[in-house]
Amino acid sequence: MPHHSTKKRIFLSAPHMSGNEQKYVKQAFNTNWIAPLGPNVDAFEKELSAYVGASEGVALSSGTAAIHLALSLLGVGKGDIVFCSSLTFVASANPILYQGAEPVFIDSEPDTWNMSLQALEKAFKVAALNGKLPKAVIVVNLYGQSAKMDEILAICNGYNVPIIEDAAESLGSSYKGKASGTFGKFGIYSFNGNKIITTSGGGMLVSEDTEAINKARFLSTQARDEAIHYQHSQMGYNYRMSNILAGVGRGQLEVLEQRVMEKRDVFNFYYEELAELPGLNFMPELEGTYTNRWLTALTIEEKVTGVSANTLIEALAEENIEARPVWKPLHLQPLFQDAAYFSHEKDYSVSEALFNSGICLPSGTNMTKADQLRVISCIKSVLIINQPYVISG
Ligand SMILES: *Cc1c(COP(=O)(O)O)cnc(C)c1O
C-alpha cells in the first residue's frame, strides 16, 4: 500500500475562488484604497445586505467580531445571562465571555440538529423562576440548516428577549423563503477560509435597525467621536474589514448561488451512494427550509456498522482525506465546565449523541467527482470490512 502522503489531499472545505475577486482587488490597488474602509467595503455591505434582504450590514474582520458587537449593542455585560446553542463552534459563545456574561447552553433537537424548542422553553422557565432572564439568545444554523426560527422567535418574543442569529455556516440558505440570518434582531455571517464564500477572514453583521448598524460601524472603528482631533468617549474596537478583502468578498458573492448548488450536489452524490448502507443517517433538511449543505454531515450507528465515527475518520485520514467529527458541544468543553445546560429530554442529550456518532465529510465545491468517489469507496470498504454480523439463512 502506498503511504497516504502520496495521494492528493482532499480537504474538508477549501476556499474556491471565482476569478473575479482579483478584478476588485486590483481596483483597490489602482485607487490605493488599501485601508479598512473604501469603495469595496461599502459595495460589499450593500451587495450582501441586498442578497439576504437585510436593510443594513457592516463588514467586519470576523464573524466572531460580529457576534461580539451584537452582544455589545444589546447591552450584554458583566453577570448577564446569554442562551446559546450548545452544538456549535466555540466562536458562537466566546464573545459572551468577552462581555463578562454567562452562557447557558441549549441542546439540539433531532429534526434540524439545531436549538431544541423544549430545552429552550425549559431554560426560560428556570430563568424566569430565578428572576433573571437572558439578555439575548444566540441561535446557530448548523452546517447550513436553519433552526426552527418561527417557533424559536415565538418563545423568545414571549419573554421579550432578542435573538442573534449565528448564520456563519448558513449564508445562502433560507427558511420559508426568507434568507437565513435575517430572523433575529441581528444576524451574523462569516467569511473565514472554510466557509461557503470567503474573504480569507471576515464577517458581516446585519439588521433591520439602521441606527444599531451605524453604532456597530462606529464601535468597530475605535469609537471615534466626530471631531477634528482624535476624541473618544466610549471604548471601541478595531474590527473593520479591509477594502482589499472586501474586494475578494464581492467576487465571491457573485458565485454564492452557484456554490450553494455545488454544495448540494456534493451532498446528493454522497447520499445516492451511501444512504442505503445500514446504520448511516444523513443530516435532515427540514421541510420548508433550503440548506446550503455547507458540510455534508451524517451519523454512524456503531451497533449496526461495527465502526465508530472516529474509526472512519482515521481510515479516511490514512487515505489523505480530511473528515471531521461533528462539533463537540460547548457544554462539554473544559472552557465552559461551569455553565448551565438544558438537554432536549431529561435523560437524553441530542447534541452529545450527535457528537458521539457524527461525521462531516469533505464538502469542497472544488472537489472533483473522482475525489468524491475516493471518499465514497473508502467509506464503503471500511463499512463492509467491519460488518459485525454475517447474515446467513
Ligand atoms: C465560523 C463560525 C463562526 C466564526 O466566524 P469567524 O469569521 O471565524 O470568526 C461563528 N459561528 C459559527 C457557527 C461558525 O461556524
Instruction: Domain ranges for the chain, please list them.
Output: 21-253, 256-385
Per-residue burial over 165-180, b = 16 or more CB atoms within 10 Å of its CB, e = otherwise? bbbbbbbbbbbeeebb
Q: What tens digit of pLDDT does each residue of 143-184 get? A: 999 999 999 999 999 999 999 999 999 999 999 999 999 999
Q: What is the reported pLDDT for 6?
A: 78
Which residues fall within 8 angstroms of residue 309, CB to CB, at 6 or more apart?
A: 299, 300, 302, 325, 326, 356, 357, 358, 359
Supply the pLDDT for residue 312.
97
What is the residue type of 18?
A: S
pLDDT surpasses 90 at 115: yes
Pocket test for ligand 1, best of 12, 13, 89 (most atoms within 8 A of CB): 89
What is the tens place of the pLDDT at every residue in 289-344? 999 999 999 999 999 999 999 999 999 999 999 999 999 999 999 999 999 999 99
Q: Find the 351 Cα to ligand 1 centroid distance in Å.
A: 18
DSSP β-ladder status, 56-60 and 324-325: unpaired
Q: Is the CB of 88 under 6 A from ligand 1?
A: yes
Distance of CA 212 to CAs 36, 231, 238, Å? 20, 21, 17
Which CATH number among 3.20.20.100, 3.40.50.920, 3.50.50.60, 3.90.1150.10 corresponds to the domain 256-385? 3.90.1150.10
Q: Is 165 in the pocket of ligand 1 (CB under 6 A)?
A: no
Q: Given the C-alpha cell 451587495, which residue does it identify?
A: 47
The reported pLDDT for the residue numbered 4 is 52
What does the mean pLDDT of the chain come to?
A: 95
pLDDT number for residue 249: 98
Position 90 confidence tier, pLDDT thresholds 50, 70, 90: very high
Q: Is 181 in the pocket of ligand 1 (CB under 6 A)?
A: no
pLDDT tens readout for residues 214-273 = 999 999 999 999 888 999 999 999 999 999 999 999 999 999 999 999 999 999 999 999
Q: Which residue bears the cell 447550513?
A: 144
Average pLDDT rounded to a whole number, residues 274-296: 97
- Which of 186, 190, 363 best tests ligand 1's pocket when mutated (most atoms within 8 Å of CB)? 190
Which residue's C-alpha comes closest to atom 8 of ligand 1?
192
- pLDDT (0 to 100) of residue 119: 98
Q: What separation in Å is there between the alpha carbon of 312 and the centre of ligand 1? A: 26
Task: Specify the pLDDT at position 388.
Answer: 64
DSSP string covering 9-30 = PB-SS-----STHHHHHHHHHH
Q: Rounded to 10 degrees, what is the CA torsion of 113, 164, 328, 7?
A: 90
Expressed in angstroms and rounded, the spacing between residue 195 Cα and the centre of ligand 1 is 8
Q: What is the pLDDT of residue 393?
A: 43
The larger pLDDT score, comparing residue 378 to residue 393, is at 378
Residue 37 contacts residue 240 (beta carbons within 8 Å): yes
- Separation of 155 CA from ligand 1 center, angstroms? 25
**CA 131 to ligand 1 center in whole angstroms:** 32
Pick from 192, 240, 245 the residue to mutate for probing ligand 1's pocket: most ligand atoms within 8 Å of its CB: 192
User: What would the pLDDT profile of 33-54 be if each residue is shown by its tens digit?
Assistant: 998 889 999 999 999 999 999 9
User: How many other β-carbons are positioned within 10 Å of the β-carbon of residue 276?
Assistant: 8
Among this protein's residues, is 185 annotated catalytic? no
What residues have CB less than 8 Å from 234, skipping those under 6 apart?
219, 223
Sequence-ordered strand ranges (E) for 109-185: 136-140, 163-166, 174-175, 178-179
What is the three-class DSSP state of 180? coil
Residue nearest to atom 2 of ligand 1 (CA): 168
* pLDDT tops 60 at residue 390: no
| pLDDT recorded at residue 385 | 75
Task: Select which of 148, 185, 195, 263 is catalytic.
Answer: 195
C-alpha closest to that of 290 among 323, 324, 269, 267: 267
- Note the pLDDT of residue 354: 98
Q: For residues 143 and 111, give the distance between their C-alpha atoms in angstroms, rounded to a whole number.
A: 14
Q: What is the CATH number of domain 21-253?
A: 3.40.640.10
- Please tell me the predicted confidence (pLDDT) of residue 36: 86
